[in-house]
Chains A and B, each alone.
Chain A
Amino acid sequence: MAEQFLILRNPGAAPLSELPILPFDEFRSQALAAIIGRKARVVAFFAYAHGAAQRLLLILASDQEGKLLLSSSEIEGAFESFTPSSAQFHWFEREIYEQHGIMPKGHPWLKPIRFDSPGSNADEPGVCEYFRLAGEAAHEVAVGPVHAGVIEPGHFRFQCVGEQVYFLEISLGYQHRGIEKMLRQGPDKKSLHLMETCCGDSSCAYSGAYAHLLESLQEDLCPTERTQVMRMIAWELERLANHTGDMGALANDVAFRPTMAYCGRIRGEFLNMTAELCGNRFGRGLIRPGGMGYDINDAIVAKLLPWLQASGKELRNALELLFSRAGVLDRFENTGTVDSKTAANIGMVGIAARASAQKQDLRSYHPYGWYRENPYEAAWAESGDVYARALIRYEEIKKSLAMLEPALKKLPPAEKNAATPPLSLQPKHIAVSMTEAWRGELCLCAITDEQGRFEQFKIVDPSFHNWYALAMALRGEQISNFPLCNKSFNLSYCGHDL
């Protein structure tokens, strides 16, 4: 049986007619074969209504080949769950069930993930059957949706006896705003802004991925070389800001005040650099399909370069201080461990996956934009604990700093100001665009209708893959270590809930 996949490179589009529609059994066996044989990962798996029919669409990524494998199948109301065979599907199938009421038969853990109709029958958000630790001594610790710190809402249910956590279940959906629904029938004047507000701390990654998506759907929207570099600057500044903030937060969770204070401030410097580019600290309006919202002029470059160097130096100093403290390392090491097998099983992505010995980074294995010409070598670690996740951040901070300086120094000259053509997307196409947001792999997938509008728009935030890993990391852990573990993942609630 020959493999029947639509093969794309990132970012890429193809006519919808090239997408194979397989009978479900074949679809299933081929998908599982690819996951085992080609070591492919599930990037996205979702259902959509095509006329009267319900379709499942699966996007796999084969990291070693740098290819995306697309396949689809038509089903009626139910299908045999993939989850028992491959846990990577677990969260996706829950989403499918919740959004469309399509039953993944044999799913072991079918609960709502966003408490959004029609698949969730809960009256109130967060109310569902939680796994229980039996025994009269056992108790639960329920945290959220309103947390003690200034963070987004989510509900965490710990099954504990005293300080010991035996099981953690995470229930999200509080940030659900219905973005995917609002994006349908786009692109319109709201679309770009919605993309930028999918996940506030990854605005550049989102708008970048969105720009790539539209650029692959419309041939005359072609970014210039200067645009590519500028986008890279935006992405890496975003990465720097967030990684720095996370390192500070990790220091805060072990009450190591110096690094916490320094990182908090330096993060602000990176945000302010972004604000220097476009006026907004999160890079809103900086990237837009076909080009950039703002140009980087020489005055800005002259301002940014010394600023970046100074901040980089201070940041390295703050982080070296952190990593030199025995008390801090003692807290980091062997805390919240996710072993590489579990990581692969769940289909983790991004820094958390790289900390658990998963060699995957879109910038290396599915390069896009600037990274196509400038190969990037992903950093990875073995131990899978908080220390590894902190270390990966430190390595990536160093790499980003090393990328930014030469890029700023040698910006390609501005080309003659060619106005961006109006948007008119190719009709009946399917497009996939992925970027490595600072958390990990962000995937956008769009299917256009006859008029070139979005018939279906799917967003898979990196957090979508990783929330279950956090739950796994807490098993057998001390409950007091939860904030530290949580921060070491620092997953997005809004990106997940959309």
Chain B
Amino acid sequence: MLEILKSRLLQGYRAGKFPRRAPVMPERFLGLPLIDNSLCQKDCSACLQTCPAGAIQKESDGGITLDCGKCIFCGKCARACKSGVIKFSRQHDLAAFERKQLLRRDASYSYELQPKPIIRQLCGRSLKIRQVSAGGCGACELDFNVLNTLAWDMARLHIQVVASPRHADCLLVTGPLSKNMLLALKKTYLSMPEPAFVIACGTCPISGGIFAGSEAVCDGIEEVLKPDLYLPGCPPHPASIMEALLRFMGRQMRPMEGDRENKAQKEDKAQEGDKKPEDSLKA
């Protein structure tokens, strides 16, 4: 007992500040891509050629569209682009309620912020999640699991993982939906009482991600289930998942567009001074 108390003193109170304070993402973190099509060279397709996931499309007007639902956030395109059309910000909030909102053509942030009213009414203060891995590499699961740890402690924000789909409000799917998981995913969804929601967590369930095109996968879950929330990322950072879940529950109000990036950076600098490194990184 004494040892436990001693240990508790040493370990300290380590809960993260999210969502009260914006998370500080690592220096080299690749978040929301910002596209400046005005700089795009017409005859250049360096980004297209280098993208391993085929997320970039050249549009007829000369600009490009980056599909976050396909992007695996490797950053190769930003390095390949000599004219600086593509930049990856350190912004973590990537989730969207509609698939088409993931197509990025500019630097604005125009995601819908409010979920369907029923979700907020029902799950605003109690969201029970059943997670299903449908193929994939297991990294999304790991980073989702992180939300259970001290630093994130999603239980304090009314989110919990439950054992049975019968207990769940929401199905969180990761992975590109391997053919072998098709039936299991359907059965899990069918086992949930109404109303049942679906979250596609990670690039894989949205489009198949890096595995798109393989014979053994279905290229995302859309052909089986219509997700109520799309969260790109490979894997999404815990902060992204957390933000997405909160937004899904209708509990996270975004600061309006425009000043977001600046604000985040300012906060960064302000925090760096007074915080220990481990604290700033954890959040």
Chain A residues within CB distance 8 Å of chain B: 114-116, 124-126, 145-146, 148-153, 173-179, 181-182, 189-190, 192-194, 196-201, 203, 245, 258, 261-262, 264-265, 267-269, 271-273, 275-282, 284-285, 294, 300, 303, 306-307, 310-311, 314, 317-318, 321, 324, 492-494, 497
Contact = CB atoms under 8 A, between A and B. Distances in A.
Nearest to A256: B4
Contacts of A192: 52
B26 A174 contact: no
Q: Is the interface of B mostly helix, strand, loop or mixed?
A: mixed
Interface stretch (B100-108, B142-150, B248-256, B262-270): B142-150
Interface in B141-193: 141-146, 148-151, 161, 163-165, 175-176, 178-181, 183-184, 187-188
A176 B188 contact: no
A115 B181 CA distance: 11
B28 A294 contact: yes
Contacts of A175: 133, 135-136, 138, 175, 178, 180-181
Interface in B71-102: 72-76
B178 A276 contact: no
A276 B50 CA distance: 24
Contact of A197 (B188, B210, B238, B277): B210
19 contacts: A125-B179, A125-B181, A174-B135, A175-B133, A176-B216, A177-B178, A177-B216, A190-B53, A193-B53, A194-B210, A200-B136, A262-B11, A264-B149, A269-B278, A269-B282, A280-B73, A314-B11, A317-B10, A493-B138
Given A190-B210, A275-B28, A276-B28, A307 B278 contact: yes
B184 to A, nearest CB: 5
Interface string B236-255: 01100000000000000000
Contacts of B197: none
B138 A303 contact: no
Contacts of A321: 3-4, 7
A175 B137 CA distance: 8
A200 B26 contact: no
A200 B137 contact: yes
Contacts of B178: 174-177, 497
A314 B140 CA distance: 26
A324 B150 contact: no
B14 interface: yes
A173 B11 contact: no
Given A261-B149, A284-B234, A317 B141 contact: no
Nearest to A286: B28
B151 to A, nearest CB: 5
Given A268-B146, A276-B26, A279-B30, A153 B181 contact: yes
Nearest to A258: B4
B18 interface: no
B137 A275 contact: no
A116 B3 contact: no
Contact of A153 (B8, B76, B133, B164): B133
| A178, A258, A278, A324 pick with most chain B CB within 10 angstroms | A178
B180 A285 contact: no
Contact of B214 (A114, A181, A311): A181
Contact of B138 (A193, A200, A310): A200
Contacts of B10: 314, 317
A279 B278 contact: no
Given A258-B4, A276-B26, A279-B30, A146 B138 contact: no
Question: Which 5 interchain pairs have the tightest Cβ spacing?
Answer: A200-B139, A279-B28, A264-B149, A200-B137, A148-B163
A150 B141 contact: yes
B32 to A, nearest CB: 13
B44 interface: no
Contacts of B278: 269, 272, 307, 310-311
A272 B42 CA distance: 39
B39 interface: no
A311 B178 CA distance: 38
Contacts of A265: 11, 14, 149-151, 282
A318 B164 CA distance: 31
Contacts of B179: 125, 176
Contacts of A318: 7, 11
Contacts of B135: 174-177, 494
A281 B143 contact: yes
A491 B134 CA distance: 17
Contacts of A115: 180
A272 to B, nearest CB: 4
B140 to A, nearest CB: 8
B27 interface: yes
A193 B72 CA distance: 9
A148 B164 contact: yes
Given A150-B131, A176-B178, A264 B148 contact: yes
Contacts of A311: 278
Contacts of A178: 211, 214-217
Residue picked from A258, A279, A492, most chain B C-beta under 10 Å: A279
Nearest to B130: A146
A281 to B, nearest CB: 7
Nearest to A493: B138
Nearest to A200: B139
B214 A272 contact: no
Contacts of B161: 149-150
A475 B271 CA distance: 54
B122 interface: no
B171 to A, nearest CB: 10
B262 to A, nearest CB: 21
B281 interface: yes
A203 B150 contact: no
B111 interface: no
B184 A152 contact: no
Given A275-B29, A321-B4, A145 B184 contact: yes
